[in-house]
Amino acid sequence: MKTIPLIVAGYGHVGRAFITLLKEKKEDLAVRYGLGFEIMALVKADGSYATGEPLDAASFSRDGKAWTEGNPSWQAGMKVSAAAASVAAGGCLVDCTPSELHSGEPGLSYIQEALDRGLNVATASKGALVVAFRRIMTEASAKGLSVKFSGATAAALPTVDVGMISLAAARIEGIQGVLNGTSNYILTRMGEGLSYADALQVAQSHGIAEPDPSYDVEGLDSAAKLVLIANACLGTDFIMDDVRAGGISGMPADVVRAARAEGKAVKLLAAASPSRKGKGWSLHVGPSVIDPTHPLFHVNGTEKGITFLTDTMGSVTVTGGRSSPRGAAAALLKDLVNIYRQL
């Protein structure tokens, strides 16, 4: 039995789901993988919970709400760098902070501090990696540390694993993905006859779209995932500015209906294609009309999917995977197991 100390950063939907899931899976992880994970610190923007001992939910939460005032484990102002003192080298930072795509913060600083301390990283946040993917990976690799990010690349849908492990030794010749469940849900409802505005409203009423849906419907979420998947699977070093990204905001109902009438469908596709200039790749996100022979044609509603075209293995498509904080938490836990298990 190997016990691994964790710092969890971020206590939003994903952070909470991760902590809950870790508790649920404790016995199973011990039996199946011989692994035990102990949360030594939980870091929020304004301080940390840390006592030098493993934390349980009562140390940082009452009735599911963060508990700070009068809480003996609450250390106002304590940051990752200080919290990491209670985590031995070889432990792991679990980054559940929000994705900020321009500065990459706070994840970027957190990940840097983790690597400085000899910690591995599992992140569900895209920010740091869209800003500094290659630098982070190179530094981790030089230190013999892992940085895994399944939770940031379509969560429970396997993308990077498949491209890096299942397709090892094959040459990937193209990637296409339906990577944003919210946009795909809206387009699916539009295919049933709704206007964009109505489909968005339905999505919002089901909690599928945010009150401000721009991150999803403008293609930013898809673009960020595409950057990470391309960098990991194609060995590139792209940032957000390298993606020609458009979204589905304000998509005319006519376009979707016309596609449907011809037996086709509109999807928000995120694609990496060989660059026309010969060497290298170009990344593109935008609505595309695809026909029923396309392997992502039947990916509907909030479902996601990704297709890899390869030289020796043909075309490989993965679809499904739960889209939710729990799905993201499951992806974080998968990465943790894969960092520490004996394979």
Q: Which is closer to a second copy, CB of 1 or CB of 169?
A: 169
Does 338 participate in binding a second copy (rule CB under 8 A)?
Answer: yes
List the beta bridge partners of residue 266. 289
x/- map, 122-141, a second copy, by CB under 8 A: -------------------x
84-123 binders of a second copy (CB under 8 A): none
DSSP for 291-309 reads -TTSTTTT--TT--EEEEE
CB of 57 to a second copy, least distance (A): 18
**Span from 99-107, 216-224, 244-252, 317-325 in contact with a second copy (CB under 8 A):** 317-325
x/- map, 175-214, a second copy, by CB under 8 A: ----------------------------------------
Does 256 participate in binding a second copy (rule CB under 8 A)?
Answer: no
Structure tokens at 103: 């500065």
Binding footprint of a second copy, residue count (CB under 8 A): 50
Burial (0-12, 13-18, 19+ Cβ within 10 Å), 155: buried
CB of 63 to a second copy, least distance (A): 24
x/- map, 287-316, a second copy, by CB under 8 A: --------x-xx--------x--x-xxxxx
In the chain, what is the greatest distance between 2 CA atoms, to the nearest angstrom? 64
Q: How many residues does the chain have?
A: 343
Q: Which of 168, 241, 254, 276 binds a second copy (CB under 8 A)?
A: 168
Does 343 participate in binding a second copy (rule CB under 8 A)?
Answer: yes
Burial (0-12, 13-18, 19+ Cβ within 10 Å), 134: middle
Query: Contact 36/29 with Cβ under 8 angstroms?
Result: yes
CB of 153 to a second copy, least distance (A): 12
Does 322 participate in binding a second copy (rule CB under 8 A)?
Answer: yes
Alpha-carbon distance 184 to 179, whole Å?
8
**Span from 79-87, 91-99, 158-166, 175-183 in contact with a second copy (CB under 8 A):** 158-166
CB of 228 to a second copy, least distance (A): 16
Does 21 participate in binding a second copy (rule CB under 8 A)?
Answer: yes
CB of 224 to a second copy, least distance (A): 20
Question: Quick one: three-class SS letters along 115-133?
Answer: HHCCCEEEECCCHHHHHHH
Structure tokens at 108: 């970027």
CB of 337 to a second copy, least distance (A): 4
Burial (0-12, 13-18, 19+ Cβ within 10 Å), 278: exposed
Helix (H) or strand (E) segment spanning residue 192: none
Does 240 participate in binding a second copy (rule CB under 8 A)?
Answer: no
Does 261 participate in binding a second copy (rule CB under 8 A)?
Answer: no
Alpha-carbon radius of gyration of the chain: 21
| Burial track 221-252 (b if 16+ CB lie within 10 A, e otherwise) | bbbbbbbbbbbbbbebebbbebbebebbeebe
Residues that bind a second copy (CB under 8 A): 21, 25, 28-29, 32-33, 141, 146, 156-158, 161-162, 165-171, 235, 295, 297-298, 307, 310, 312-322, 326-327, 329-331, 333-334, 336-338, 341-343
